Structure 1
């Protein structure tokens, strides 16, 4: 819906284009996204319940895994219900609803990137400083890291969303995406967006590339420490505690860096929608599967939970 104010037509609601350019494909995608949402929601809830009910899993590694599950639930619940609704009914979203969706998604995105660094640091201390692990990663340190993760990501999304609120949107209200994200919204603004792009780019460099560098440095030290282990079984145990995290990080960072480390003007409707599906829907669904199927302690906790 458009509203005329001071000889300018302002947008009061947006039309989410989604996958409507191919209706037949959209009907095929509905059960796929429904399955992804069910798997993400049930899988992450199961991880939280299993860890919460098993005192043996009340360790820093699983504390951060619970936080990751909360982030994944926030991410998918922000995007997928509205996407599923738009596939069968109304494809419009109010201006306020779009801003709330953007805020929640950006918050979860920043928190996930920071959590990966916290989890990498935890594995670094566990493998490289095993005798000091209980001291360096006590409950107080874990809580401080978790508070820092949520606070920094909240500050990031507050700044970028606040800057977006100052932009007028006029003439076109069609969002070339399946949810409200910064790059496609900036394309609709009828005012200069250089400040928005500069702040978003700075935040993304710090959160994406900065955290990715921290993770790579941590794993460089971890690999060097593992190679010094003499027994083959010891090496396998050390690698097994890191492989799940490294697999999730690789999947997530490749797609996020591709999407955000570039100007909004370079946004591509078809390519970016496919890439966005990976970090908004596929990754949150795979995370509980990767961490449970490749982790004997979590599998044991789930068996006890169901038995």
Structure 2
């Protein structure tokens, strides 16, 4: 790879996180806002996992996937939020090279979430389109394999992405225009030829990210077709109600990620706000979406609170 006069990554000890371009006194407000949202992320997702683990009535494929979704939401928020809050209160807004390279964990969990959401879509497809064979199709073994495969694909994707991102050389300008280490922003301050990086990103998008979207879309095409053919109005309402929570979660996650990474960077500050949504806000909303619209979860919560 060519070097344009910058130092090699082995000489880089830290990067500077630009954060939000606001007046210094507003960083305290940002810290408090992140602390509030992150606290709700912890409370909501830990509560959801506790309810699913302790209530035997929730021992079904849907709640198995939902428990993993809560763990993933909690994990990738925890990778980003504490460091971001520390940066807000620190005069030196730096992050070490090793700390930035731990981006691998964030990438692992965010990609894994996409696969788990695809598995949940397939679960809904099996329950609505093939109800008589549901227990055969969605066996405990298959559910475990789907989740294990999700983590494996997340690990492969994140390892490749982070490896190529941090294998190059970096210029003297080490400012990352985000409040966290983002691979796309790190590549922007690289002095190396980014052809390999672009090919890896394209390959990951085609062979890892795109299949999850295809599974979700195809599953819902069959779901909608099956529900519309149902003669029962009550059955239609119940089916659409079951799918609505999952669709909300998918829409918020993919919508904000697409806005950040696929739209022209005409307004960097707006992109940062959008990134807050998929890093923290979706992790906060997911437990609320599933618990408020789910009778089983609400009953399980009442049991725990009653005890």
Cα distance, 1:284–1:9 mapped onto 2, change above 3 Å:
closer
Matches of 1:229 and 1:7 in 2, distance apart?
63
Matches of 1:212 and 1:262 in 2, distance apart?
18
Structure-2-length-normalised TM-score: 0.92
Matched, 1:154 2:160: no
Cα distance, 1:268–1:10 mapped onto 2, change above 3 Å:
farther
SS at match of 1:270: helix
Question: Which ranges of structure 2 fall in alignment gaps of 5 or more residues?
Answer: none
User: Which deviations, in whole Å up to 9, do the C-alpha atoms of 1:227-275 show, x marking residues without a partner?
Assistant: 1222221111111111000011011111222333479xx5853232122
Query: 1:280 maps to which residue?
Result: 279
Matches of 2:135 and 2:201 in 1, distance apart?
37
Map 1:40-189 onto structure 2 (within 5 A).
40-89=41-90, 90-100=92-102, 102-189=103-190
Q: Which shifted more, 82-91 or 204-213?
A: 204-213
Shift of 1:9: 9.7
Cα distance, 1:22–1:212 mapped onto 2, change above 3 Å:
farther
Matches of 1:181 and 1:204 in 2, distance apart?
16
Shift of 1:192: 1.0
SS at match of 2:15: strand
Query: 2:23 maps to which residue?
Result: 22
Structure-1-length-normalised TM-score: 0.92
Matches of 1:250 and 1:5 in 2, distance apart?
41
SS at match of 2:276: helix
Number of matched pairs: 301
Q: CA RMSD in A?
A: 2.1
User: Which deviations, in whole Å up to 9, do the C-alpha atoms of 1:115-134 show, x marking residues without a partner?
Assistant: 11000000000000000000
Query: 2:296 maps to which residue?
Result: 297
Matches of 2:31 and 2:272 in 1, distance apart?
15
Contact 2:61 2:140 (C-alpha < 8 Å) held by counterparts: yes
